[in-house]
Amino acid sequence: MLRVILLSLCLGCMGTAQQVPSCRIEVPAAVLGTDPLVLALDYSPRDLSIRLDGHETSGGLAIDHASQLVVLVDHRESMADVWTTATHVLQEVVSRVAPEERYSLVVLDKGLPRIEGIAQAHNGISNFPEQPPFGRASLYDSIAEVSDSLRPGDTILVLTSGMDTPPAPDDMTTLRTSLLRRGVRISTVLLLQQGELAVDSLMGPSELKWLAYRTGGSATALKPLRQASSDALLPDKFMTEVMNYSALQLQLPEGGAPERLVVNWKHGGKDWPPFVVPDTVGPCPAAVSASLPGQH
Does residue 32 contact residue 214 with C-beta atoms inside 8 Å?
yes
E-only strand ranges, 161-279: 185-191, 219-222, 244-253, 259-265, 275-276
| pLDDT tens-place string over residues 250-270 | 988 887 788 899 999 998 777
Q: How many C-alpha atoms does 242 have within 13 Å on its Cβ side? A: 24
The H or E element that residue 157 is part of is strand 154-160
Please say if the pLDDT value at position 240 is more than 80.
yes
How many helices (H) and strands (E) would you count in the chain?
7, 19
Report how far Cα 123 is from the mean position of its chain's Cα atoms: 27
The neighbouring-strand residues paired with 48 are 265
CB atoms within 10 A of CB 174: 13
83 pLDDT tier (thresholds 50, 70, 90): confident
Give me the phi and psi of 78, to 5 degrees please: -65, -15
Domain interval for residue 228: 1-296
Predicted local distance difference test score (pLDDT) of residue 228: 67
Q: Is the pLDDT of residue 48 over 50?
A: yes
Chain segment 122-176, per-residue pLDDT in tens: 777 777 666 665 566 788 988 999 999 898 879 999 999 887 777 888 888 889 8
The span from the CA of 133 to the CA of 115, in Å, is 18
SS3 of 82-149: HHHHHHHHHHHHHHHCCCCCCEEEEEECCCCCEEECHHHHHHHHHCCCCCCCCCCCCHHHHHHHHHCC
Query: Is the distance from CB of 131 to CB of 151 less than 8 angstroms?
Result: no
pTM: 0.81
In percent, how much of the chain has pLDDT > 70?
Answer: 80
Q: What is the CATH number of the domain that holds 59?
A: 3.40.50.410
Give the span between the Cα atoms of 216 and 12, in whole angstroms. 54
What amino acid occupies position 200?
D
Q: What is the largest CA-CA distance in the chain?
A: 86
Residue 16 pLDDT greater than 50, yes or no: no
Judging by beta carbons within 10 Å of its beta carbon (0-12, 13-18, 19+), is residue 168 exposed, middle or buried?
exposed
Count of the separate structural domains present in the chain: 1
Model pLDDT, residue 143: 92
Which range has highest mean pLDDT (91-100, 192-201, 225-234)? Answer: 91-100
Q: Which of 68-82, 132-146, 279-293 has the highest mean pLDDT?
A: 68-82
